[in-house]
Structure 1
Amino acid sequence: MAIAQPTGARAPWYARTATTAGRPVVLGIALAMCAPGEYHLARLAGWSDPWAYGMPATLSAYAGIAAVVAASRPKGARGRFSAIVGATVAILLALAAQIGAHLISTGHMAGNQAWLIGLISAVPPATVGHLLHLATTPATSSRPSEPQPPRDQQPVPVTAPLTAVTAPSLPPRPTEPPALPPVNYSDPRCAIIRRLYDGGHRPGTATMRTALAAAGHTASDGMIRGTLRAEVERLEPVLATYPPEQQLRAA
Structure 2
Amino acid sequence: MPEAGELRAVDVASTGVSDASTPVYVGVAITALAGGLTVVLTALAFWLSYEHLQEVAAGHGLAQAPARSWAWPATVDLFIVVGELLILRASLAKRVDGWAISLATAGSGGSIALNVAGVGPHASVLGYVVAAVPPVAALLAFGALMQQVHAYLARRLTPDVEPTLTGVNDPSTPAAPTPDPTPAPEPPAAAIEPPAVGDVPSPPTGVDVVSTAVDLCSPVIYPNRVDQLIRALYGTDFVQPSTARMTAAMAAVGLGVSESTARTARGRVRARETYLSGFPTAIASGPPAREGESA
Q: Report if TM-score (shorter chain) is over 0.5.
A: no
User: TM-score, normalised to structure 1's length?
Assistant: 0.37
Larger radius of gyration: 1
User: TM-score, normalised to structure 2's length?
Assistant: 0.32
